Every structure is written in structure tokens, then in C-alpha cells.
A and B are shown apart, each in its own frame.
Chain A
Amino acid sequence: MVELINTVETIDAVPHNSAARRVLYAARVKIHPKRASGYFRNLKWLVMAVTLGIYYLTPWLRWDRGAHAPDQAVLVDLAHRRFYFFFIEIWPQEFYYVAGLLIMAGIGLFLVTSTIGRAWCGYTCPQTVWTDLFLVVERWIEGDRNARIKLDAAPWSVGKAWKRLIKNILWLLIAVATGGAWIFYFADAPTLARQFVTFEAPAVAYFTVAVLTATTFVLAGYLREQVCTYMCPWPRIQAAMLDEDSLVVTYNDWRGEPRSRHKKKLQAAGETAGDCVDCNACVAVCPAGIDIRDGQQLECITCALCIDACDGVMEKVGLPKGLISYSTLKTYDAHKAGGLAVIGWRAFLRPRTFVYSAIWLAVGLAMFYSLLHRERLEVNVLNDRNPIYVRLSDGSIRNGFTVKILNMEQRPRSFVVSAEGLPGSSMTMTGGDGAPLREFTIEVEADKLRAIKVYVAVPPLLLEGEQVPFEFKVVEQASQTTAETRSIPAIFHAPPKETQP
């Protein structure tokens, strides 16, 4: 078994980005991650396919909403101030749903981090996904780690320039597609795509695509791990989220140390040797440019590729896998103390995970409940303030009101408006024939707001005071039992009694 060690190639890899080696005022040393293969690499391919698929394809999904609304499943219609998400339509005043979703995303991130560590960073963060995608292109054009290091060191030649050009063009194409997909969330995707290629799209579309192309290209192509190390706040916050029961990528030094490239010799000399053969495979595959054997580090995004690399080596040398593995601090300490510990599902049942889950669920359920019961008719009443009241020639007092009716359904509806609680009152409406009415019917178009001016007059003898509370009642005219009704309180203002003739 021991003689097999020699079949493992030792890689001359240096963890350039580890805190100990990093020099703030020196140029960054480019990191050339070696291709990894194994369970976590496959999992990451799958996550990449799913997340990129969702991002690129979502705007093209259709959802029939009838004649009065767009048929795009997910659409942020800024021009008309509507947000469509499949069966949900949100008006600007319902923006708290978006706030709720953001709260859920935040709490969800806490929950995920406290249980399975920085899974967001390692698997689903756009920076990680696009960097992975750009690395695929880089590897395809320039070869794997060694070839890339060689190419970097080589003097400029036609071949090198050609490879660099092709690589950057492919990166740029991906970046344009990324920025391009973003704008389709804000307008009808097929129409905008046609306009975009015929140069008829609005300038802001081109500007947005240009900015996002630039950020994608620079962040995923050139900045890479620097985004995670220097620009992102999350690595600095996560320390508060992780505890001794959170899963983190761990080098099990209780098993690996003392590491040695000459284990056979050491053992022959009667000295102890750990399982780590110091082949540097874990350093070579690391996209963050660190050595996981240095312990927990802020730079580690827990992409788990070092686990794949180490498992491959352990398999070759005939040792059990898991020298580098997902582990918790508690398990690690138990092993170190000489005991045996297995991470069980109980590790996930902690007060903090219960609290996070409870908050997450509470926000989710509250939003779901209010979504099911939300009103699709809203009525606002504004008193005229200037003048507050008008005296008519028969002595009656008249007040003006602006009644705003928001029909949030995707169909035209008609409503009966009346004033309740003002004896003897009569109403007139701007645009009507001027005849006083007890109530009137108005039509509101689908998904629209209609504001009407209503004048309410009360004979002087029936006035009960200077400020008389009453209600505007708006009743949907519908045969269905689901007809919506709103009663909106209002105040009728009258002059003081003594000034009345």
C-alpha cells in the first residue's frame, strides 16, 4: 500500500492568495485552478446548469393573463409600474411583497450558512457560477493549469495572441448574453430582442447591456477571487453566522499530519507519518488561491473542489477518502481529541436554526396569506381643501371630493358609488349631466385607476355640525357573489352655524 505513494504527482502549487502570502501593495499573482473531478465538481456542474438555465430562460416563459396584461411570466414593467410573477401581479403600493421576499432571502441565507456553511458562495453565487463558466472557456482554449502557466510565462507570439483573442472574444460573447438576458426581465422579451438587433431598442437597454457586459467580463474574467476576498461583504459577516455545528470544508489534520512526501522513509525510520502526502493537489484546484490545510480562512468559498482533488489522491494511494471533507468544528474537535464522531442530522437541530426557520416560515406564510386575501379593489377619497366648502344659492353647503378607484383585476369592472350617513345629501359628478343623484355607476378599465370628482351637497337645515363624518360606499356591480365592496370614511365640512343665514 505504501509504495503506491510514489504514483502521486506532487504539484508545485503555491497558495498565492492566502493571507500569509498576500502582499497588499504588490500586483496580484494570477491563480490558475486545475480542473477537478469528482462528486462535488459534478454537483457544481448541475447547479451551474440549473442557475444559468433559470437566469437565461425565465424571461422567455409565457403566462396567459388575458387581453389586458402582458403574457410574460416574469416581468418588471417599470413604465406601467407593475410587477408580474406568474399568477401574481404587484402594484407599486404592494411593494412590501418584494421587501418580504428580500427578508426571506436574507434569513434564508442565515439559515443556510448556519447549517451547511457558505454553500451560497461555493455553489450558487453568480460570481462563482460565471467564474466557473469563464474557466471552462479558458481551459478549453488555453489548456489546463500547467499549459496556462506556461502560456502566461511565454513571450508574445502569434499563437499566444491568437489564443488570448479567441478566449476574450468567447468571454465577451458570454458577457453580452448575460447583460442581454437581464434587460428581457424589464420588457416583452421577443419584442425587445427584435428591437435590440435592429437597433430600435431604447438607449437605456443598450446602456444596461453595456454595463452588465463590462461587469460580467471584468468580474468573471479578470477579478475573480478578488471579488470574494476584497469586494464582497459576505465573507466578513459569515463569521457571525457559522458556529461549531456548521458544515465547513475542513482539512482533518488529526489524520493528515505530519504530512510528508516521503512517508515510506519516515515509517522505515520508525517515525509517525500522517495521511497527507503533501502533493498540493488541493492547492492546485483551489479557485480562491489558498491552502485549505492552513485551516479556516475568510478567502475560502467552500466550493469543495479540494475535497474532490484530495479524494482522488487518497483513492490512488489506497487510503480512506475524506482527508479533506465537509465537517463541523465539533466533529473536528472530537476527532482531534481521539474520539469518533459522525455528523448526524441532529447537528441541524439547534436553537438558531429553529429561530431562522421560524422567522423564514412566518414571513413566508404571512405573505402567502395576504396574497390569497389581498384586495383587488382599492378606493381612496381626498377632500377638497381649497375651498373646504361652497355655499350654493339655495343655501346648501357643498363639498368636493376626489374619489380614486383602483381596479386591480385584469378585467373592466363597474362600481356603484354612493354617500352613506349624510341625510338629504345629493351628489353630482364632473362629466355628468349635472343632475343631483343619490348614487351613480362608473366603469373602470382593467388594471387601471380612475379618479372622479364628486360634489356632495347637503341642505343647511339637515347639517348636524361643522364636521360630519360619513362614508363613501363603492360596490362592485357583479352577478357573482364575490363582488367587492369598500366603505371609505370621509368628513363633510360646513361653515359655523352662526354664519349661516
Chain B
Amino acid sequence: MASREKDEISGIETTGHEWDGIKELNNPLPRWWLWTFYGCIAFALGYMIAYPAWPLVSGATPGLLGYSSRAEFVKEVDSAVSAQAAQREMVKTLPLEEIRNNADLLQFAVAGGRAAFRVNCIQCHGSGAAGGKGYPNLNDDDWLWGGTLEQIHTTLQHGIRYLADPDTRQSPMPAFGADEILTPEQINDVAEHVLSLSAQPFDAAAASRGSTVFAENCVACHGAAGEGLREFGGPRLSDPIALYAADKAAIVAQVTRPRHGVMPAWNTRLDEVTIKQLAIYVHSLGGGEMPVP
């Protein structure tokens, strides 16, 4: 066990501990260290009184200063929001086109829109807004309902096939196969015709028969040359971009039993400023169109 003894060389008592023949001298602590240590104890006592410290059943002792990191956070968010107040007010009142033409406001709106997009939109449209099968790519210049700022804004506000909103965009395509409007042969022919419209390899005879079917059933919404009709949300068939897929099987499937994607109306979920920011952000992704003068 520990035996204290006096070290011969230094004349200082040892602590009595020994490790493999090495003994520790019982030197005093450096004073600066000792006073720092006492100072820390004093600080800790003051800290426990001033700040939240002791855990209780439903929370911690609040401390005399009433500090709370959560309240601090709320305060910082509030101050950040109020710092943006002037710009938010301008985004709220100015027409979209004017916001876009003001470099500072455009930057503010795109930044805000990007943040809102990440929270609300990437679930369907993807983090890069490139979409996926059944979810439109927002980067390209192919718009189902129009790509001007106003048109994007309307789509955002009222959604697509979102029945809770009376102004929602509607474009039901009949189930030509499932409802037996067309026979499977006719569907096959019209699919060959659609292939020809988008410059893909096709069977000329079938396509020629299909053109008649197309003219009788499809042109009202998709246009005579498959150029689409945005007023009705009729997709353009004459380009290489397809919402689902461009191959024949996908076309046959869509004509037989069409699928209809739904987008919610955001005016009940997001505030006006955020919706406008989103419209400007989506418009800035590269496919945005200018209003027809």
C-alpha cells in the first residue's frame, strides 16, 4: 500500500504511489492552475444559477436569465424574416414579369424558390427538377400547360386534377381500350402513327391506318400533327420528350388505360410570396417561356 516517504534528492515528500519503481513527488499544484480551477468552480456555480442547469421531471431549472436556445432560434428566424420584409413585400405586390426583370429581386426569388422547391417539390419532380416517369421534367422547354411565368404560377396555385380546387387544371384522356372505344387493332395502328409523329421507326401501313383513327379521336386535344394543345393540357406528341415513355408499348398502354398524374393546389398550402418565388425559380430552370406579346 501507499507509503509516504521523503525523496532524498529533492527533499520533497512522495505521494506514496509507485509504478514500476517510479515514484511521484507530491509537489504543490502551480498556483495559476489552482486559481484557474477555483475560478472554474465559481463560474460553474454562477452558471447553474443564471442558466438552465438541473434536469427536472418535465424540463430543466430555467435559470435567472431565462435563457432558452429554442427562443434564441425563433428570435433569429424572426429577425431573418424581418430582414427580408422589404423584398418579400415587393415580391408580393409586383407582377411576376417585373420581378424577373429586376436583378436583385430575381436573385431573391430564385433563392427562395430553390429552398421552397427542395421542401415541397422534389418528392415528385426530383432534386434537380428533372422529373421522372409520369412526373414532368421542369428543365426542358416542353410544357403541358404552358411555360410562361403566369402559366406556371397558375399551375402552382391550382394544381393539376386536384379536385378540391374548382379552378384546377383538368385534362382527362378517355380510356380508349379499357372502355372499348377503340379495338386493340385500332390502338395498335394509332400507336404506329404516334411513333411516326415523333420521328421513330414505324410500320408505314399500320401508321397510315392509324392516321385515320388519330384524326377521328385524338386531334381535338393533341392537334392534327400531334403538336399538342396547351389550353386543354393536351401533350405534344411530335417531340422526343414523353411524360411516360416514347416506345410503342408505352403508347399502347397509355391509349388503352391512360394514367393521370395529380399535382396539389399550392395556394392552400403555401403563401403567395413562396408560390411566386417557386414560379420564378421553375421558370429560371432553362425552359421558361416569354409571354406572347
Collect the chain B residues with CB atoms within 8 Å of residue A386's CB.
Answer: 126-128, 130
In the complex formed, the residue of B with least CB distance to A393 is: B239
**A interface, over-half SS:** loop
Q: Mark out the residues of chain A between 425 and 463 whose CB falls within 8 Å of any chain B CB in the assembled complex.
A: 428, 430-431, 433-434, 453, 455
**CB-CB under 8 A for A453 and B284, given A386-B128, A433-B290, A434-B289:** yes
At the interface, yes or no: B151 with Cβ under 8 Å from chain A? no
Collect the chain B residues with CB atoms within 8 Å of residue A431's CB.
Answer: 100-101, 103, 106, 284
Report how many A-B pairs have Cβ atoms within 8 Å.
63
Complex-state Cα separation, A398 to B13, whole angstroms:
82
**B interface, over-half SS:** loop
In the complex formed, the residue of A with least CB distance to B12 is: A25
Complex-state Cα separation, A433 to B126, whole angstroms:
26
Complex-state Cα separation, A395 to B288, whole angstroms:
17
Q: What mask results when residues 389 to 406 of chain A are scored 1 for a CB within 8 Å of chain B, else 0?
A: 011111100101000000
At the interface, yes or no: B192 with Cβ under 8 Å from chain A? no
- Which of A384, A385, A398, A430 lies in contact with B284, CB distance below 8 A? A430
Interface residues in A, total, Cβ within 8 A: 21
Collect the chain A residues with CB atoms within 8 Å of residue B139's CB.
Answer: 387, 390, 398, 400
Q: What mask results when residues 149 to 174 of chain A are scored 1 for a CB within 8 Å of chain B, else 0?
A: 00000000000000000000000000
Complex-state Cα separation, A393 to B181, whole angstroms:
30
Collect the chain B residues with CB atoms within 8 Å of residue A455's CB.
Answer: 286
At the interface, yes or no: B98 with Cβ under 8 Å from chain A? no
**Shortest distance in angstroms between B223's beta carbon and chain A's nearest beta carbon?**
14
Chain B interface size band reads 20 to 34
**CB-CB under 8 A for A393 and B140, given A386-B127, A501-B240:** yes
**Shortest distance in angstroms between A10's beta carbon and chain B's nearest beta carbon?**
34
Collect the chain A residues with CB atoms within 8 Å of residue B28's CB.
Answer: 25
At the interface, yes or no: B49 with Cβ under 8 Å from chain A? no
At the interface, yes or no: B96 with Cβ under 8 Å from chain A? no
Collect the chain B residues with CB atoms within 8 Å of residue A390's CB.
Answer: 130, 137, 139-140, 286-287
At the interface, yes or no: B189 with Cβ under 8 Å from chain A? no
At the interface, yes or no: B169 with Cβ under 8 Å from chain A? no
In the complex the two chains form, is A501's CB within 8 Å of B198's CB?
yes
In the complex the two chains form, is A391's CB within 8 Å of B240's CB?
yes
**CB-CB under 8 A for A434 and B240, given A387-B139, A390-B139, A501-B200:** no
Collect the chain A residues with CB atoms within 8 Å of residue B287's CB.
Answer: 390, 392
In the complex formed, the residue of A with least CB distance to B198 is: A501
At the interface, yes or no: B229 with Cβ under 8 Å from chain A? no
- Which of B27, B103, B286, B289 lies in contact with A400, CB distance below 8 A? B286
Tell me the B residues contacting A by CB distance below 8 Å: 27-28, 100-101, 103, 106, 110, 126-130, 137, 139-142, 198-200, 236, 239-241, 246, 284, 286-290
Tell me the A residues contacting B by CB distance below 8 Å: 25, 384-387, 390-395, 398, 400, 428, 430-431, 433-434, 453, 455, 501
12 contacts between A and B (CB under 8 A): A25-B27, A25-B28, A386-B127, A390-B139, A393-B140, A393-B239, A398-B286, A430-B110, A431-B100, A431-B101, A431-B284, A501-B199
